[in-house]
Structure 1
Amino acid sequence: MELTVELVKAFVANGEGGNPAGVVLDADKLSYSQRLTIAQTIGFPETAFVSRDTEADFKVSFFTITEEVDFCGHATLAAFSVMHQKGILPAGIYKQNTKAGLLEVQVNSDGMVILTQKPPEELGTYKAEDICDLIGLSRHLLEETNLPIKAISTGLADLIVAVPSGQLDSIRPNHSAIIEFCQEHSLIGLHVFELCSHGQGLSARCRNFAPLVGIPEESATGSSSGALAYYLTKHVAPSDGFLFEQGRAMKCTSHIHAYVTRHQESVAKIAVGGMAKHVGRQHVVVQAT
């Protein structure tokens, strides 16, 4: 059986950079093993599989090269952008059914896709001495930020780690240690950031490491960006919107917008958005089941 996989770069910055994702439309009849085989053949961080659904407009599943994950921001952006560009979806608000729940996706007429995430959930606080060896920075450098190290989920559980300005490019991730740590604490990966000055036009620069699910480093991570927006609103300064840069260390700079809706003193809604670029398609042959 031959299938067409759309190849997309999500969260592009001025049409460049972005994080690659595969998108398979009309995936209703594909089994788990077929989806995993397709994701492994494409070899991108994630591939999204879009199916019909009775509860939402679409059911979407997400596969890395090693396994299915509950949610993926950049692959959601890729999937809905492709459907908009193909004329399947006009601008509007849609719902996708994922393993992380029923989530809203807004498609704008200019191609911007904004995806609502699960309400943020704090999963624990960690000490700098437990994290420093994972990223190759000293405990004192991590403590210098005076910001907590917290596990937060808006669909996937990530560890949010602040480093002093100018230190992000100095990170030397220990992938085997990160895998062991994430397995022990039920995390997907580490999302490390440095704050930017107001004149730079960015809220923060980020790097994301998720070797546990086959991603040594990722150039744009939607789910982690939502968690970071919540973290910054709570621990740095409340804001309705953030702009994050990711992927510079990979020479694949990406821009992720994040939006926070607050009600009184609490966060009511988290969303991330960006632009995507269709870069081609690949035909994949899978064995029938």
Structure 2
Amino acid sequence: MSQNPRTEVLRYTAFSADPEGGNPAGVVLDASGLDDAAMLAVAADLGYSETAFVTGRAEPGDAELPGEAGRPASPAYTVRYFSPRAEVPFCGHATVATAIALAERDGPGDLLFRTAAGPVPVTVTRQGAELRATLTSVEPRVTDIAPDDVAEALAALDWPAADLDPGLPPRIAFAGARHLVLAAGSRERLAGLHYDFARLEALMHRLDLTTVHLVWRASGSVFHVRNPFPVGGVVEDPATGAAAAAFGAYARALGLVPETAVLTLHQGEDMGRPGTLTVELRAGDPRVRVGGTGTRITG
């Protein structure tokens, strides 16, 4: 099936109220007539790190909203995500962009996205002139990574091991997609990102990683982050919601933050597309909430 010429592809940025900031995503609110090849073609033609496709309305099941008993059922949608190269199970910034696009059409409120990674509730609120979307991740997990794999990642990045922050050890974290967390010991180290694209891509394919989440700790609750994304055909992702959720799980699992905490992640500054991601952890709830503003890109 080829792309329908009437398919409307919207462009939004997520995690910034400025169209020139944050992470741009494609959004197709009616992809019911598109097959896999057509969706991949749209994503490749657009060239953003991801494009979200709403393939239809869905019926939310009781088990899909853990901890939300007693609330009215949210409008539910089946959503798929494609990078320019392949389908990915989940994408945070495209989720935020899609939720804001739906809110502009239907009004703010609660939504449920059924994704390949699992059910993802999203709440959109209006704050003055801005819309803000907060997604709730699937249940996360954090696992060790072999020293040889860390060494290979550092070699691909051309980062000496001595430049890492020993207080934030390497781990693989998942909250819908897998990310390798590597912590720089200085802001200067984080800013110096000139990596071997093919070498890092090969390692990421072998470890089934979506991005490498590079982080520098500015304070106990403020972090600066970058996300190489060669497996998606993109050198760097400007604002990565799925990685932010995974990092929240990482910070909690390693005892870096209290059980209830709000973290601020700054991303995109070194690319000239600054964005801000808010990560919320709640005691007793393993899931991670990631929120931010967004706006439509016109012209």
Is 1:36 equivalent to 2:36 in the alignment? no
Aligned twin of 1:286: none
**Structure-2 change in CA distance of 1:38 and 1:224 (3 Å):** same
Tell me what 1:11 maps to.
15
Determine the structure 2 residue equivalent to 1:113.
133
**RMSD over equivalenced CA pairs, Å:** 1.7
Distance 1:54 1:212 in 2: 30
Tell me the TM-score normalized by structure 2.
0.86
Q: How far 1:13 moved relative to its partner?
A: 5.6
| Alignment correspondent of 2:102 | 83
Structure 1: 5+ residue stretches without partners: 282-289
Q: Identify the match of residue 103 of structure 1 among 113, 116, 120.
A: 120
Partner of 1:218: 237
Residue aligning to 2:162? 140
Deviation at 1:123, TM superposition (A): 3.4
Find the aligned partners of 2:18 and 2:200 in 1 and give their Cα distance. 32
Are residue 243 (structure 1) and residue 261 (structure 2) matched?
no
Residue in 1 aligned with 2:54? 50
The one-letter amino acid of 2:289's match is A
1:232: Cα distance to partner? 1.8
SS of 1:53's partner is: strand
Distance 1:62 1:32 in 2: 10
TM-score normalised according to structure 1 size: 0.89
Match of 1:234 among 253, 259, 262: 253
| 3-state secondary structure, aligned to 2:38 | helix
Aligned-partner Cα distance in 1 for 2:33–2:193: 43
In 2: Cα distance, 1:100 partner to 1:38 partner: 22
AA matched with 1:243: T
Structure 1 CA distance, aligned partners of 2:132 and 2:223?
21
Give, in whole Å, the separation in 2 of the partners of 1:69 and 1:40: 13
Q: Quick one: distance in 2 between partners of 1:178 and 1:26?
A: 35
One-letter code of the match for 2:282? T
| SS in structure 1 at match of 2:231 | helix
- Number of positions where the alignment pairs a residue of Structure 1 with one of Structure 2: 272
Q: Which amino acid aligns with 1:38?
A: V
Q: Determine which of 70, 73, 86 is the counterpart of 2:89.
A: 70
C-alpha distance in structure 2 between counterparts of 1:48 and 1:196, whole Å:
32
Which residue type is aligned with residue 92 of structure 2? G
How far apart, CA to CA, are the structure 2 residues paired with 1:217 and 1:168? 13
Deviations 1:69-100 (A, max 9, x none): 110000011111011122x2x22211111101
Pick the aligned partner of 2:295 from 270, 277, 281: 277
Amino acid in the other structure paired with 1:147:
L
- How far, CA to CA, are the matches of 2:146 and 2:192 in structure 1? 21
* Whole-Å separation in 2 of the counterparts to 1:221 and 1:24: 19
Taking the aligned partners of 1:17 and 1:213, their CA distance within structure 2 comes to 20
Read off the aligned partner of 1:276 and give its amino acid letter. Answer: G
d(CA) in 2 for partners of 1:172, 1:117? 31
Contact 1:125 1:148 in 2 (8 A): no
Moved over 3 A (4+): 13-16
Residues 1:157 and 2:178 aligned together: yes
Relative contact order higher in (CA < 8 Å, ≥ 6 apart): 1
Mapped to 1, the partners of 2:206 and 2:87 lie a distance apart of 19
Distance across 1 between alignment mates of 2:183 and 2:17 = 23
Confirm or deny: 8 A CA contact 1:226 1:271 kept in the other structure: yes
- 1:61 offset after TM fit, Å? 0.6
Q: What is the deviation of 1:230?
A: 1.6
- What SS class does the counterpart of residue 52 from structure 1 fall into? strand
Of 203, 227, 249 in structure 2, the residue corresponding to residue 208 of structure 1 is 227
Which amino acid is 2:136 matched to?
A: T
Displacement, 1:32?
Answer: 0.6
The match for 2:142 among 115, 118, 122 is 122
- Please state how far the C-alpha of 1:237 moved relative to its aligned partner: 2.2
Pick the aligned partner of 2:210 from 188, 198, 201. 188
Shift of 1:168: 0.6
Identity %: 27
Quote the residue 1:284 is aligned against: none
Q: Per-residue deviation at 1:252?
A: 0.7
Deviates more, 1:46-55 or 1:95-104: 46-55
Letter in 2 for 1:141: D
